Structure 1
């Protein structure tokens, strides 16, 4: 199964749509029914980020099996870094402008708020490791970079057999620091490479490097397991968010990131896709999968702009954000708006979709010779 896996390519685009929906919060705040729908959507969508980690680890294992791991890691690191910088270059001016607009009418207030925001943006730990200093959404890219780095070090030190148990132990700490805080108080952030991304990336690496591969005869079993764990995933989050706390959906939506069931849901889904590698081949969906990461890095800026249209609309007595129409349109508008910006950046020569995402003058001149 070293060739192209069409089902995984197809799932990339769907998974990215789910990630966008997590950030757009469809139907939240529209009464108990709106909150219930949002809770189900959010809970269902939580497989998406782990899926991308698992996929990255899986294909990393396939690639390094026939080449120098250091050379390939450097290549992957260069791509991930250029994507991250591209996302930052888009989000930084948009978020900074929003801060300045909200600061007030005086130049002094605008300058003070802007300087504070810039200070947050350039926080070394937040910028280089956690990936949340400019936009919380972009944390995946530094986490993936470090996770692949950990795996590369394990390969070079001939200790890959320890990857899964070590990363699993660290992930338990990560879960305690996010969804199971009632058990123990973890005094540091755990949504990062070490406590989150490392485990799922190692899981993908382990699946690829093992001799066992899912076959089509068991695809029905994997499908059933995926459905079962999807239901358990929603149920576990409901227990954590409402049964244990005594709160109700009328009061708000529980949005803790990931739980124990997320692990099993992600594994069963990925095995299902591997057991049916040609799923989606007859459609155009797999070819669009390569745009998923571009939508990811662009959509924070697009979403920020769309959400800020609420202010001007309120000035003319339009409460758009409290309408069903707004909630129906925000997710697809953000998704396709991000895709449009990404393709436009490629068309303008600012980036190469299949290559470097750092704007380069020579590439722009080639695209716009006049």
Structure 2
């Protein structure tokens, strides 16, 4: 099977968008708000890419369950390792920040959030707030696999689309009805975009997609990106909605980006940014830690970047670069450990 370099190429922009979301202050400058709204394609794109690659494997192997089992175990191991990492980091901070009986009180309050539902479904409880993506991906792939084995993928696609639309009521469309629970999860967000990726895999197998010219791609990308920013602005600033993490227009923008990926699969081949995109999951899991550390440094130095647009751009680039090389260093260390003790990490 020919490698699709365009997936990793777009992943580079998606993971950078994730770092932007987590580093930029939201409302202090209008430019921040617009960039934040534009960046909201990122996580849906990761779900679509995951669903697509999973779907391709399902359609090109007879060992469906074995691949599914290995896939889930791999993602679950990554989640557990980084959950432990962030929990240990949080506990160390508490031990340094508090003294005496305050330590016990803070630790009790901290571990109160460690319910099975929070840890295994919402992926929350630690400062690794972004780890929700991994649990959402696990549950989404599990659901897609069940419907695939039952030959009901089309039904799932329709059902997950309806759930995603309902999930908007817990996001930016709260003027109609506000969900009492978070809709940034597997059920309302991850499932639809993972199913969409699986649907794309099925379509690629059945038919050849038409490639558009560069001008058409550029115009459509600009219009769909503008539509997402406008939707976010109107709902949050002009109407009594709220700041959303995904929108109705996100569907069209993400689907279009993946259409580009499928019709230009050699885009980005040989580029350094494509190599970075290939390590997007590593950057994703570690970047929140890097942000926390450097935010503490800025706070200790009494540096406030909230109203400085250009300095925030520089800071975001800095966090992104450090996150990439930090994960590269971890991978290098893992290779060294495996070389000298292959049993330990087998």
Q: TM-score, normalised by structure 2?
A: 0.90
Number of equivalent positions = 340
Contact 1:53 1:204 in 2 (8 A): yes
Question: Structure 2 residue aligned with 1:139, among 126, 132, 135?
Answer: 132
Greater shift in the superposed pair: 7-16 or 259-268: 7-16
Compared CA separation, residues 219 and 148, structure 1 to 2 (3 A): farther
- Matches of residues 150-165 of structure 1 in structure 2 within 5 Å? 150-165=143-158
- Matches of residues 1-370 of structure 1 in structure 2 within 5 Å? 2-25=1-24, 29=28, 35-67=29-61, 68-102=63-97, 104=98, 106-120=99-113, 122-134=114-126, 135-210=128-203, 211-217=206-212, 220-245=215-240, 255-314=243-302, 318-319=303-304, 326-349=311-334, 365=341
What secondary structure, in the 3-state scheme, does the structure 1 residue paired with 2:182 have?
coil
Contact 1:130 1:192 in 2 (8 A): yes
Query: What is the CA deviation profile of residues 158-186 of structure 1, one whole-angstrom value per residue up to 9, with x for unaligned ones?
Result: 21121210110111111112121111132
What secondary structure, in the 3-state scheme, does the structure 1 residue paired with 2:279 have?
helix
Contact 1:223 1:268 in 2 (8 A): no
Contact 1:27 1:327 in 2 (8 A): no
Compared CA separation, residues 269 and 323, structure 1 to 2 (3 A): closer
Q: TM-score, normalised by structure 1?
A: 0.85
Structure 1 CA distance, aligned partners of 2:38 and 2:142?
29
What secondary structure, in the 3-state scheme, does the structure 1 residue paired with 2:112 have?
helix
Contact 1:219 1:275 in 2 (8 A): no
Compared CA separation, residues 325 and 207, structure 1 to 2 (3 A): closer
Structure 1 CA distance, aligned partners of 2:17 and 2:41?
9
Query: What is the CA deviation profile of residues 100-120 of structure 1, one whole-angstrom value per residue up to 9, with x for unaligned ones?
Result: 444x4x311122112211232
Compared CA separation, residues 244 and 85, structure 1 to 2 (3 A): same
